[in-house]
Amino acid sequence: MKIPYRSTGRPSVSGKHFVCLFILLLIFATVQAADSPKVSGVAKERWYIQDVPDDVTPRYPSPYLWDYGLYLDVGLNKNFNNPNNKRWRSKGTTFKINQPQVNLAMGYVSKEATSQSRWGLEFGLQAGVDIKKLDPEPPPPSNDPVSHADTWRHFYRANVTGLIPLGNGLRATAGLIESYIGYESFLAIQNPNYTRGYLSDYVPFFLFGLQASYPVSNALDVSLFAVNGWNYLADPNDEPSYGFQGAWQISSRLKFTQNLYYGPDQENTSIKYWRFFSDSIIEWKSDRLLLTASFDFGTEKQADVNDNPRYNWTSGALWFGWHIGGSWHLGLRSEFYSDPDGIGTGSEQNIQAYTGTLEYTISSLISNTFVLGLEYRYDRSTGDEGGFFKGDTNRLVRGQHQLIFPVMWACGP
C-alpha cells in the first residue's frame, strides 16, 4: 500500500523564485562564447561529445587511470494539472512536481583497468528524488525489498574489475554495476532529453552481480551477465538471472545493440515462470545529429494469479538530437509504453508521450560544466486504469502538459 503524500510544512524555495533564477542563468548563458563546449566530469558522456583523438595526450599519462567527479541535478516540473499530491503518476524518476527538487546528487571515484594495471574499481554515493523508487513496492510478494534497501539505494556504483590477458582481453566485473538494458542513462545530463522515458523508468538502472565482456573484434563487443534479479533491491528468490549484450558498430556512425534478459523474478522459480525481456537499439550519430530507435518486449507467466496467465508488455521510442552549434542542443523524443496487464506500472494502461528539450551548456569554469534546460512534454494514458492526477481531489484524467526547468552541474577532470 502506498503512503499518501503529506506536506512537511518546512519552508522551501517557491516555483516562481526558481523560474526567476532559471531565467537569470539563461540570460547569463547567452552571452558566453559560442564555441563548442569543453565539458567535464560525467558531462563528457553527452552524445555529441566526441572521443579524444589518438594524437592527443590523455589527461593521465600514468597507467593508473583514476577518475572522480561530482554531479547535481535540480529541477522544477510545472504540471498544469496541478494535482494536490504533487505526484507524476506512473513515473519512476523526476516524479515530484510543482516545487523545486534535488532530483539527484552524486559523487564518485573510479579507476580504469588497463593492460599496465589490470584491476579497476568504481564507487559512488547518491541521494535525491530519483533514487526513491529504486526500492521495490509490494505487492506482489516478489517485490518485497531486501533488508536495508533504503540504505543500499544510496550506492551509485560499487564494483571491482579485472582485465584478464585472454585473447583480445576479457574484462570481468563484480558488484553493483550500471544496467546494460536501455538507451537512456540514470544521469539526465547524458541523455538527449532531461526527463527519462517510461521505457527507461521500467527497466533496471542498476544490477548486482557479475559481468564478463569481450571485444570479439574492433566492431563487435559481447557481454554476459549473472545477476540477482530484475530489481537488485528486491528479494523474490535465491536463484540468479542471466543477461546478454551484443554491440555491433556497423559503421563509424551506425551502431546496433541487442540486450536480452532471462531469469526467475517470482517466488516460484520454475522455468516456465521465468521473465524474458528483449531490448533492441539502433543508433546513428554524427557530431551534429542523432537518430535512435528502440523497441522493447517482455513476457512473464504469472505463478500467483488464477489460471497462471502470461503477461506481456511492449515499449518503444524515437530520439532526435541536434547539436545546433556552440553550446546549444535540441532533443526530441516520441515514445509509447503498453502495459495492458499492469506488470510494470502497476496499472492496466497504455501511455504515449512527446518531449522536446532545449539545452545550453556553460563550461567557462575549469573542471565545471553547467547545463540549463527548458523542456515541454505531453503525456497521455488510456486503458481501464490509465490516467494522471489532477486538481484538489487527484482525480484521474487522460492527459497532462508540463514545462520543466532543469539545472545540472558536473565537476571533474
Q: Is the pLDDT of residue 263 over 60?
A: yes
Beta strand 119-127 with 101-112 is: antiparallel
pLDDT tens for 204-219 read 999 999 999 999 999 9
pLDDT tens for 103-154 read 999 999 999 999 889 999 999 999 999 999 999 887 677 788 999 999 999 9
36-50, 111-125, 304-318: the lowest-pLDDT one? 36-50
Q: Are the beta carbons of 86 and 7 closer than 8 angstroms?
A: no
Asked, as a colleague might, if the bond just before 139 is cis with ω within 30 of 0, I would say yes
Q: Which three cell numbers stand for residue 171?
A: 574484462
CA contacts within 13 A on the Cβ side of 17: 7
Domain ranges of the chain: 15-45+62-411
CA 331 to CA 352: how far, in whole Å?
Answer: 17
Q: Which three cell numbers stand for residue 190?
A: 547524458
Backbone angles phi, psi at 45, to 5 degrees: -90, 10
**What is the CATH class of 15-45+62-411?**
mainly beta
DSSP 3-state helix, strand, coil percentages of the chain (rounded to 5)? 10, 45, 40
Helix (H) or strand (E) run with residue 130 in it: none
C-beta atoms surrounding 325 within 10 Å: 11
| Degrees to nearest 5, angle at CA 351 with 139 and 46 | 100
Q: Which three cell numbers stand for residue 153?
A: 539505494
In whole angstroms, what separates CA 119 from the centre of its chain?
Answer: 27
Position with higher pLDDT, 4 vs 47:
47
pLDDT of residue 4: 38
Q: Which amino acid is at 284?
A: W
pLDDT of residue 56: 40
C-beta atoms surrounding 409 within 10 Å: 19
Position with higher pLDDT, 316 vs 38:
316
C-beta atoms surrounding 79 within 10 Å: 21
Phi-psi region of 42 (alpha: psi -120 to 50; beta: other; left: phi over 0): alpha
pLDDT tens for 45-59 read 998 875 434 334 444
C-beta atoms surrounding 10 within 10 Å: 5
- Among 410, 374, 413, smallest CA distance to 46 is for 410
| Degrees to nearest 5, angle at CA 75 with 8 and 30 | 145
